[in-house]
Structure 1
């Protein structure tokens, strides 16, 4: 399932959970026929409860609801949470559930990392935002800075097709229509959905990034949470800077996971040598996966630029040609740089490098190649399990 560029779309940028959650919940409350949701995490917290309440309202109107969560990423949902939704007719699915081994989650690789919401086949959301308190930076210090888009137009049909295909591939549902409604043109944005899986679309998202980097003429601005890119992306970013493109990276300065900054910072010296500007966002953990090129191209979605996202996980990004959205993202990210970022200097990047350089070299090449060997393992065939009112993500399953 390879998607094409679609004209006649409209995109609205949603910054952080404070904008994203009310928008999504209102769409769910307005649903008339169908709601499809894919997410890495649902927490049983204030956000998860608000999601549940909106879904229960929709289920009471006989709206068909399919919710798919990841078996590794999803937190410990109580039996009451699962049963209340299932008893109301909500179909809940867990991607690749597996028991723990000595209390440790064993299904680390090939995760369902996509964040997709489609309502009535008319409006869709693509983001990096999970359903949890930690996407509310306005309320919590460790709330994550992140982004999504609400889209309307013909591209919504492709997003729905992708969500439907996952359910049908694993035979999790029956009677889910191929096409729900027509999606007439509503705007000027040209969009293309790209997914990453472990079958036919292993490099689709990476290829779109590479095309944008290679053809950029004036600027590239990338804000990415877990930046440990492939050899190809690393090389093309350096090539772009050498030919005069202004390349700017916004990366984690207050990481939610310490290793994220350690891996990214191991590349700073090499990138800075070629004139690439690097800023670390300090106010909150950065969880965004957003980028722009020149004055028109943009992408928003779930894919980090690291080995897990580029080589193993199921991901979804929208690639958008829309000058107004590009400008909005540019203005926002420049404002973020000016207000909340620290610029990395060559001196700072080289500090302690004499002893870190050999470790960095080994770590980079090992981590860049390790997903290939993991992908060769035949024993791990992810599956989708549908929960009933008597089942749950239990304490002996991955949380």
Structure 2
């Protein structure tokens, strides 16, 4: 079933941690009914302490708090930090902890980022509770208000109740989820929908992106930190460029948390540049954001649009049809293009043998890993 579009929503673009972290922590601080948080990455450190403190303070005010973490992405959260959360009354669960079961099951991760407060406001993006988001990685988020918040909350509740979301063994006080509240509507609001993915079994995010690429009339701009696209996505992007669409990719430059992934993706540059796709590599820092602009359609969320994410992970994006938000995202892209190096097709074709060798080596490793599918 196709995800449902909902009207009467408000969407606020929150570029950079200096904007989205205060907004999220502020919403938690003012919570009156419940706080639901779902994250892939949470590691002990300054930001994890800030998040934990906000959640614990909410519990002390009598607000139910549920925290759902990925079993692999939270391995860096120290046992004393987990214990502190549970002792304070935070309901803590872990999605699919690593175990002695199938490799495929261990590879399946919850990569979604969801914060819902009181059923009235939600946040999503590519963020996590790790210190890199404070000063090393560039990220964006979107604040959501309106009927579509209920869909974000439904995603959380469904996974929280699933057999793969397990309480920590030290969790002694197991409480039921609070009743879901009705989200408000805004007469001047915009249209949006939540699109999710559950590995290879359900890829609405991929289908939606492919559809928008085919429908684009003016521009298709995509930012992703891990550019290792499927063959079908590459082909669609190149076809769009050949029919005159302004297709641009905003990708990380030399500052990257996984340089090998960058080299694996660079093996596709030549063909894409040749077809007319423009490629920009971001210079100021590692850009971890995932967002897309196709004419006046925007998608922001957790999905990197690489074949690994699309095959194994739980993902979720906020899609919006709104000229106002599209203009803001357009301006954001343009600022980042100006802070990037555009890859020159002629210079790339003449790149040194050392660079080509890295592309070949990491491309081979990527192909071998994907055989696990």
* TM norm structure 2: 0.90
Instruction: After TM superposition, list the pairs within 5 Å mapping 1:318-329 onto structure 2.
Output: 318-329=318-329
Shift of 1:42: 1.4
Shift of 1:357: 6.4
Q: Distance in 2 between matches of 1:15 and 1:305?
A: 20
Instruction: After TM superposition, list the pairs within 5 Å mapping 1:1-399 onto structure 2.
Output: 3-98=3-98, 109-136=107-134, 140=135, 143-170=136-163, 175-176=176-177, 179-185=180-186, 187-198=188-199, 200-201=201-202, 203-253=203-253, 254-294=255-295, 296-338=296-338, 340-352=339-351, 367=366, 371=370, 374-375=372-373
Q: Distance in 1 between matches of 2:77 and 2:124?
A: 23
Q: Distance in 2 between matches of 1:199 and 1:250?
A: 26
Shift of 1:133: 1.7
Q: Distance in 1 between matches of 2:183 and 2:278?
A: 44
Evaluate the alpha carbon distance shift between residue 363 and residue 85 of structure 1 in structure 2; reply closer, same or farther with a 3 A threshold. Answer: closer
Residues 199 and 310 in structure 2, CA contact (< 8 A), matched pair in contact too = no
Shift of 1:153: 0.4
Aligned partner of residue 169 in structure 1, secondary structure? coil
Aligned partner of residue 148 in structure 1, secondary structure? strand
Q: Distance in 1 between matches of 2:49 and 2:350?
A: 46
340-349 vs 75-84, which moves further: 75-84
Residues 230 and 368 in structure 1, CA contact (< 8 A), matched pair in contact too = no
Higher relative contact order (CA 8 A, sep 6+): 1
Shift of 1:216: 0.3
Q: Distance in 2 between matches of 1:258 and 1:363?
A: 9
- CA-based RMSD of the aligned residues comes to 2.6
- Between the two proteins, the alignment pairs up a number of residues equal to 362
Evaluate the alpha carbon distance shift between residue 360 and residue 77 of structure 1 in structure 2; reply closer, same or farther with a 3 A threshold. Answer: closer
Partner of residue 170, structure 2: none
Shift of 1:75: 4.4
Residues 41 and 70 in structure 1, CA contact (< 8 A), matched pair in contact too = yes
Evaluate the alpha carbon distance shift between residue 187 and residue 152 of structure 1 in structure 2; reply closer, same or farther with a 3 A threshold. Answer: farther
* C-alpha distance after superposition, 1:151-197 (max 9, x if no partner): 00010000000010001122757743674224323542211111111
* C-alpha distance after superposition, 1:229-252 (max 9, x if no partner): 111111111111111101111111
Shift of 1:79: 2.9
Residues 44 and 75 in structure 1, CA contact (< 8 A), matched pair in contact too = no
Residues 68 and 95 in structure 2, CA contact (< 8 A), matched pair in contact too = yes
Shift of 1:311: 1.0
Aligned partner of residue 291 in structure 1, secondary structure? strand
Aligned partner of residue 93 in structure 2, secondary structure? strand
Evaluate the alpha carbon distance shift between residue 146 and residue 169 of structure 1 in structure 2; reply closer, same or farther with a 3 A threshold. Answer: same
Q: Distance in 1 between matches of 2:258 and 2:187?
A: 41
Aligned partner of residue 117 in structure 1, secondary structure? strand
Residues 66 and 91 in structure 2, CA contact (< 8 A), matched pair in contact too = yes
Q: Distance in 2 between matches of 1:182 and 1:299?
A: 21
Evaluate the alpha carbon distance shift between residue 343 and residue 177 of structure 1 in structure 2; reply closer, same or farther with a 3 A threshold. Answer: same
Question: Structure 1: 5+ residue runs without aligned partners?
Answer: 376-399
Q: Distance in 1 between matches of 2:364 and 2:193?
A: 32
Evaluate the alpha carbon distance shift between residue 351 and residue 281 of structure 1 in structure 2; reply closer, same or farther with a 3 A threshold. Answer: same
Shift of 1:3: 2.5
Partner of residue 390, structure 1: none
* TM norm structure 1: 0.84
Q: Distance in 2 between matches of 1:10 and 1:155?
A: 9
